[in-house]
Amino acid sequence: MNKEKNCIETPAVIDLRKQTREAYSGSKKLLDYESGEIVCLSVSGIGKPGGEAYADAIQTLYSFVYTLKFTLKGAGLLDFKILPLECKWGDFDPATTSAEDWSWTLQIRVPPEVTEKQIDDTARIIQERKGLELTPPERVIENGGRWLQLLHLGPYEKLGETYSLLMKEAEQRNLQPVSGRHREAYLSDPRRVAPEKQKTLVRLCVEEKRRDFEL
Amino acid sequence: MRILECVNMDTADGGSMNPDTRNDHIRRVRRVSEYIRNNLDEELTLDKLSREAHFSPFHFHRIFKAVVGESVMAHIRRLRLERATRHLKKTRGPVIRIALDAGYETPEAFCRAFKTLTGFSPSSFRKAIQQTPGSDLGGPGKFSFHDEIKQDLPSIERNVMDIKIENWEPRKVAFVRHLGPYEECGTAWDRICTWAAPKGLLAGGPEMFGISYDDPETTPPEKIRYDACLRVEDDIEPEEDIGLQEIAGGTYVVATHEGSYADFSQTYSYLYADYIPANQWECRDAPCVEIYLNDPNSTPPEDLVSLLCIPVTKKTSGEVSG
């Protein structure tokens, strides 16, 4: 085997965590920070978290992000660290909506250098080899904003408690949540880690409270 | 993959202990230690010693460490150093001669090792001993020459550990061989992934395995072997630095290790010294396989989850290679 022959010249590794440290911090303290727009691979769907559609979306995202990363790295074009899976929830009330009807957008952030053509090429590679009938993720730009963030330790069923804490914090700071823009980032793989040890970053996008006009 | 049995090992309970089987490991390791002691001037290779103990070379270094509490090479070094200390006490030969006999290339290296072990330089040790007639070697420092092989296997602190017995089909894998310290094996993973990605082999839940062949405390860093393996289908051909091999089918003890890869040796020690002999298994002549369930590049070490898989067979009566 000739190792020398296959040494690949790769560009420096892009670590997006370093660009917004707070966004991926495992700190247990409440964080209040601003971040700019980000680029994500994105798959939307409707259905129970952990259900078939949700699991397929996760599989699609991971298949794409790893194939994309190592294809670009092998070609010497781009290299980046893979970030945790994130979820942006639709604007519904989980207390009154059946889990089967929950709408979600699963995302993995990638460097802005990743192009739509590269995503299409990745889809072709996967479909040719695996014959997988899958819809490629979209390249989506998510707006930046001001975020309140807490680390939730424990099962997903109790995420509501952490959202309540964030809402209280927002109220105390005279802030209000921006509708449909709360996000979660999963630091633990739910298939591998016991529910009581699962770490989830919960982010609430907030803005200054608007003053009511008096007519 | 068929799961044959599933147990949840608690810290307090090592399963249905069988003293005879467990003592068999101790007896075989003791024999190797005797062999080392009687052949300190010989070249003592792992292959030679594993044959002496009737253990497969794939497992010998881990079994030895699990039973004795130190690596084979550390054990040999210590026995040579202890012998040197006896020579210092009982002879008037020059320190350099004693250092060379102990396998050290320079007197300085010998002095450093000696001081680490005893707290004294060789000459001050000799002076103190020889000026105090009747003193034993426990005199200066707290140093004793007793063998370290325990009558009972060491008790290993461990968290609750899931252990399963699985029956595997043979698996064809493409692999990249890494030679060097295990901490640097990421380059082999980069290589196999950059080879596999354009072929679509990283999609749809790829199965990846690591094979660590050597004990980093015994084998020189540049000779440590590690294979980064990716399961492939039959139509894949070897090319340049990408080899093909088969991961042996058969029965495996599969333990879930939670936490840093650097702590694998504690889990291996528990399995080799405790679980495997206590449950009437013995090791087969095939390498251990590691399965990494999350990505070390994006997961903090404490959250890593891995499966350590040891190929085993049910123990037959008498001493069999294992």
When mean pLDDT is compared across A128-142, B125-139, B145-159, B245-259, the lowest value belongs to B145-159
Has residue B147 got a pLDDT over 50?
A: no
Residue A43 confidence (pLDDT): 96
Check if the beta carbon of residue A106 is closer than 8 Å to that of residue A40: no
Please indicate whether, in this complex, the C-beta atoms of A193 and B297 are within 8 angstroms of each other.
no
Domains of chain B: 75-130 (1.10.10.60), 161-314 (3.20.80.10)
- Reported confidence tier of residue B137, pLDDT bands at 50, 70, 90: very low
For this complex, say whether ipTM is above 0.90: no
Q: Name the DSSP class of A201.
A: E
The pair of structure tokens assigned to A60 is 């699609």
Has residue A11 got a pLDDT over 80?
A: no
Side chain identity at residue B270, one-letter code: Y
pLDDT single digits (tens) B109-126:
888 888 877 778 888 888
Of the candidates A6, A82, A126, the beta carbon closest to that of B295 is on A82
Say whether A40-142 and A20-36+145-207 share the same fold: yes
Whether B200 has its CB under 8 Å from any CB of chain A: the answer is yes
Residue B145 confidence (pLDDT): 38
- What number is the average pLDDT over the span B236-245? 91
Please indicate whether, in this complex, the C-beta atoms of A189 and B177 are within 8 angstroms of each other.
no
* B203/A63 Cα distance (integer angstroms): 4
Longest CA pairwise span in chain B (Å): 77
Of the candidates A59, A128, A187, the beta carbon closest to that of B205 is on A59
Q: What is the mean pLDDT of chain A?
A: 87
Residue B134 confidence (pLDDT): 53
Residue A212, min C-alpha distance to chain B (Å): 45
For residue B214, give the nearest of B46, B32, B82 by alpha carbon: B46
| Bridge partner list, A139 | A41
Please indicate whether, in this complex, the C-beta atoms of A59 and B196 are within 8 angstroms of each other.
no
On chain B, the residues whose CB falls within 8 A of the CB of A67 are 197, 200, 202-203
Of the candidates B197, B243, B294, the beta carbon closest to that of A192 is on B294
Residue B303 confidence (pLDDT): 82
pLDDT single digits (tens) B84-98:
887 777 777 787 888
- Chain B residue nearest residue A118, CA to CA: B198
Of the candidates B195, B197, B293, the beta carbon closest to that of A66 is on B197
- Reported confidence tier of residue A107, pLDDT bands at 50, 70, 90: very high
- Reported confidence tier of residue B232, pLDDT bands at 50, 70, 90: very high
* B111/B98 Cα distance (integer angstroms): 11
Of the candidates A5, A127, A192, the beta carbon closest to that of B293 is on A192
For residue B212, give the nearest of B190, B197, B228, B230 by alpha carbon: B228
- Reported confidence tier of residue B144, pLDDT bands at 50, 70, 90: very low
- Chain B residue nearest residue A197, CA to CA: B303
Burial A7-44 (b: 16+ CB within 10 A, else e): eeebeeebebeeebeebbeeeeeebeeebeebbbbbbb
Fold of A20-36+145-207: Multidrug-efflux Transporter 1 Regulator Bmrr; Chain A (3.20.80)
Q: Whole-model pTM?
A: 0.76
Residue B19 confidence (pLDDT): 57
* B27/B155 Cα distance (integer angstroms): 18
Residue A68 confidence (pLDDT): 96
When mean pLDDT is compared across A26-30, B85-89, B162-166, B183-187, the lowest value belongs to B85-89
- The structural domains of chain A, with segments of one domain joined by +, span 20-36+145-207, 40-142
More confident site: B268 or B86: B268
- Chain B residue nearest residue A190, CA to CA: B294
Residue B6, min C-alpha distance to chain A (Å): 17
Check if the beta carbon of residue B117 is closer than 8 Å to that of residue B79: no
- Chain B residue nearest residue A62, CA to CA: B203
CB atoms within 10 A of CB B172: 14
A40-142 sits in which CATH class?
Answer: alpha beta
- Chain A residue nearest residue B203, CA to CA: A63
Please indicate whether, in this complex, the C-beta atoms of A189 and B196 are within 8 angstroms of each other.
no
- Please, which residues have CB within 8 angstroms of residue B139's CB and are 6 or more apart in sequence? B128, B129, B132
On chain A, the residues whose CB falls within 8 A of the CB of B241 are 1-3, 5-6
More confident site: B130 or A214: B130
When mean pLDDT is compared across A66-75, B9-18, B75-84, B273-282, the lowest value belongs to B9-18
Please indicate whether, in this complex, the C-beta atoms of B197 and A70 are within 8 angstroms of each other.
yes
Q: DSSP per residue over A119-131, as a string?
A: HHHHHHHHHHHH-
Has residue B141 got a pLDDT over 60?
A: no
Whether B231 has its CB under 8 Å from any CB of chain A: the answer is no
On chain A, the residues whose CB falls within 8 A of the CB of B303 are 187-188, 193, 197, 199
Q: What is the mean pLDDT of chain B?
A: 80
Q: What percent of chain A has pLDDT over 70?
A: 91
Please indicate whether, in this complex, the C-beta atoms of A26 and B193 are within 8 angstroms of each other.
no
* A83/A66 Cα distance (integer angstroms): 11
- What number is the average pLDDT over the span A153-175? 92
